[in-house]
Structure 1
Amino acid sequence: MAEQTEDIAGLVDAIVRPLVEFEDDLEIVASDAEDGSILVEVRVNEEDAGKVIGRQGRVIKAIRTLARAAASRTNTHVEVELLD
């Protein structure tokens, strides 16, 4: 399970990194929950938060959709959270 967690975190990183201006502030932490799901927490500089969220939340929704699609191959649930 840890390998898949790293893969999902890498996918989210590959999507988010080109969007942000302050790459040094980008932090992505992925962890396995007790129920077998994966939680990916994304922290960005507050000036970059709007770019990651997108208009009406479209960008973050797309990131969540891609992460869930990648995890669906092994029937794993993924949650992507953007933290302040």
Structure 2
Amino acid sequence: MKDLILVIAKALVDHPEDVRVEEKADDRGTVYELSVHRDDVGKVIGKQGRIAKALRTVVSSAAADSQKRVIVDIIS
């Protein structure tokens, strides 16, 4: 799952070397914290959060087989 988030995020940003994903276990489920260069935050979020919502949809669909709850947080 971490690799999927990295591939998608690196394709969206101008500074792919600054993309980082940290995986943490939480009481909510598995939380993936995505951090990008400060100039690329808007590109990952998108207009009215559409790209962030699409990213979260793809990741949750990929995790549907494992029956785990997956959360993607974007850290600026």
- After TM superposition, the score normalised by the length of structure 2 is 0.91
The root-mean-square deviation of aligned C-alpha atoms, in Å, is 1.3
Letter in 2 for 1:43: S
**1:59 matched to which residue of 2?**
51
> 1:53, 1:36 → 2: CA distance?
22
> 2:59, 2:29 → 1: CA distance?
12
Query: CA shift at 1:36, angstroms?
Result: 7.7
1:24 aligns with 2:17: yes
2:14 is paired with a residue whose SS is coil
Letter in 1 for 2:16: E
Deviations 1:7-56 (A, max 9, x none): x11111111101111112111111233x4821100001111000000011
Structure 1 regions of 5+ residues with no counterpart?
A: 1-7
Tell me the matched-pair count. 76
Runs of 4+ in 1 over 2 A off after TM superposition: none
Structure 2 regions of 5+ residues with no counterpart?
A: none
